[in-house]
Structure 1
Amino acid sequence: MAKYEEVKNGVIFPVGEKNEAYAQYFVGQSYLQTLVADLQVNVGVGNVTFEPGCRNNWHIHRNGFQLLLVTGGEGWYQEEGKPAQSLKAGDVIVTQDGVKHWHGATKDSWFEHIAITAGTPEWLEAVENEIYNRL
């Protein structure tokens, strides 16, 4: 049994549907519930839920930023050239424009965060299993 299984039921915000639109940029299954999609606001806000072992590819936000507000479970965040950071509910991550990074669940836990994103993502290669499995 995976840790924090209650996350899959949408403890704070709805889990949403399977994240099919971005599936090619994830290893494993994620879910996306858009919370703010107002073109006049110029930022996207979504609840992203990761099944255990799920993570997104390395990516960069161009002409913008990304804020991650962790709401449940256990996960990882890593910027290129830096060690991975363990994440839990209440943690906040600020990713500046142009910083290559990835984030996702631990191997044995569900993970959920609110992503507040401005700019355009540039999706890159998947996080190598060898690197992920060492965490």
Structure 2
Amino acid sequence: MRIQRPDRFDGTAGKPGSQFTGSVFPYVTMAQTDGVTINTVNFTPGARTYWHHHEQGQILQVLAGRGYVFAEGELHVIRAGDTVWCPPGERHWHGAAPDSFMTHTAISLGQTVWADPVTDQEYSATPIDGAQEEETDDVR
């Protein structure tokens, strides 16, 4: 058994030029143990990760606010209560919406491979909002 108390990342994480654009407040919930890393990250409006992928996939659990996740050519709105599965090797990014804070817990499996920052043009694509689609379906 191992108990790890929440701890902030080192001084380089969460600052522009590391693995995020904008201001974020990340906490290591559990450092890598048996290939699993768990981080809870508070994103300020517009803040986002860089492009990246995971050796064995990633699970995102949205705890508060509203944000975006981009993969497979589509930008999706995510909200508190949503859980997202990013399969192994899928290039993606995630972060807060431009007008909302967002907090998620990221469960990363295997190694994370970081790439380039998300451009403002990529970030401002028109998102797909599944919650609005579900509301529309209920009315029919």
TM-score surpassing 0.5? yes
Partner of 2:29: 35
| Correspondence 1:36-115 to 2 at 5 A | 36-37=30-31, 39=33, 41-62=34-55, 64-81=56-73, 83-115=74-106
Change over 3 Å in CA distance of 1:17–1:122 after alignment to 2: closer
Query: Where has structure 1 moved over 4 Å in runs of 4 or more?
Result: 14-19
Q: How big is the shift at 1:32?
A: 1.2
- 1:76 and 1:103 in contact (8 A); partners too: yes
Q: How big is the shift at 1:34?
A: 1.6
Q: How big is the shift at 1:94?
A: 0.4
CA distance in 1, matches of 2:32, 2:48: 27
Q: How big is the shift at 1:19?
A: 6.7
Q: RCO greater where, 1 or 2, for CA within 8 Å and sep 6 or more? A: 1
Q: TM-score, normalised by structure 2?
A: 0.76
**Identity within the alignment, %:** 33
- 1:30 and 1:49 in contact (8 A); partners too: yes
Count of residues in correspondence between the two structures: 119
Which has more radius of gyration? 2
CA distance in 2, matches of 1:19, 1:66: 24
Gaps of 5+ in 1: 1-13
Gaps of 5+ in 2: 1-5, 127-140
